[in-house]
């Protein structure tokens, strides 16, 4: 029953990636931990191939539709990949329960960003992107989000999309497609950094990924008919609930961070 619910949520994750260019991947680790029963470190390692493959398929769909910027995809992707690789190596020294708590905090931030963008509606229109580019901020954002990916397992689309629009000056629809390719490179770097740290149940990952890919393909078609702001707002509220649940489950970390950082703190689930 747990696995059935988890696989159903895989479709939701893929749908979100296809529609918004990010967001859904932030749910993959909680689904693996709290629904399917894996430990935080195993869940984070499982997350990377799922999100990477799903994002790549979605990126191909957006590329065929003309919503793709090759130069920014390669530049952003390469920098974030390096950050993810380095951070994933460092993550071996961080207890799983701490990683999960950090993920909850990141989810709160992502939900706040989504709600704010839905309320303000300040995203530049498709035909009139900003003229100024900020290469230094672009580089710092790419590396920073990559490091976040390696540490807590998020794909980073909720940060990549606004960064590509506001800093790289590309239209929102192009940013969504480009973000998916960046996420694929990002998670590849993190996956390489995690090699040898945990044993991954590949049959489970393969099934989860296949369902997420179907959801992503559906999302790339739905995006033309459903207002993205409506989907973003609903997803943001869902993220708030999930973040509150994760932080409650790991409240001991917030109460006593020093104790949680000891090597014995391995996570909330034994598997």
Nearest to 197 by CA among 150, 261, 130, 229: 150
Q: What is the pLDDT of residue 124?
A: 46
| Alpha-carbon torsion, ordered 17, 215, 88, 152, to 10 deg | 70
Nearest to 34 by CA among 43, 24, 46, 25: 43
SS3 state at 48:
helix
Q: What is the pLDDT of residue 165?
A: 83
- CA distances 162 to 138, 158, 165, 168, Å, are 11, 7, 5, 9
Q: What is the pLDDT of residue 126?
A: 45
**Cβ burial 67-77 (10 Å sphere, 16+ → b, else e):** bbbeebbebbb
What does DSSP assign to residue 123? P
Q: Beta-carbon neighbour count of residue 244 at 10 Å?
A: 14
Domain boundaries, the chain: 2-256
Q: What is the pLDDT of residue 53?
A: 92
Q: Beta-carbon neighbour count of residue 114 at 10 Å?
A: 25
Q: What is the pLDDT of residue 13?
A: 86
Per run of 10 residues, the mean pLDDT along the chain (length 271 residues) is: 87 80 78 92 93 88 88 93 94 89 88 72 46 76 92 84 83 86 93 91 94 85 70 77 87 74 48 48
């Amino acid at each position: 029953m747990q696995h059935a619910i988890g696989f159903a949520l895989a479709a939701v994750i893929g749908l979100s990636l296809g529609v918004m260019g990010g967001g859904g991947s932030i749910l993959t680790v909680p689904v693996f931990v709290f629904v399917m029963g894996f430990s935080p470190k195993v869940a984070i390692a499982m997350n990377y191939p799922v999100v990477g493959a799903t994002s790549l398929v979605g990126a191909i769909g957006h590329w065929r539709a003309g919503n793709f910027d090759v130069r920014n995809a390669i530049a952003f992707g390469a920098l974030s990949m390096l950050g993810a690789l380095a951070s994933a190596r460092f993550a071996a020294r961080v207890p799983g329960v701490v990683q999960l708590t950090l993920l909850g905090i990141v989810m709160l931030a992502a939900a706040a960003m989504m709600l704010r963008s839905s309320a303000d509606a300040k995203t530049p229109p498709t035909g009139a992107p900003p003229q100024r580019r900020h290469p230094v901020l672009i580089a710092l954002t790419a590396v920073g989000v990559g490091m976040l990916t390696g540490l807590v397992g998020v794909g980073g689309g909720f940060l990549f999309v606004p960064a590509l629009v506001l800093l790289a000056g590309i239209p929102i629809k192009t940013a969504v497609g480009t973000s998916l390719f960046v996420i694929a490179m990002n998670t590849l770097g993190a996956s390489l950094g995690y090699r040898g740290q945990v044993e991954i149940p590949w049959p489970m990952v393969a099934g989860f990924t296949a369902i997420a890919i179907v959801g992503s393909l559906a999302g790339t078609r739905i995006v033309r008919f459903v207002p993205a702001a409506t989907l973003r707002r609903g997803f943001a509220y869902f993220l708030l609930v999930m973040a509150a649940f994760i932080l409650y489950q790991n409240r001991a970390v917030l109460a006593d961070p020093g104790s949680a950082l000891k090597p014995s703190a391995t996570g909330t689930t034994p598997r």
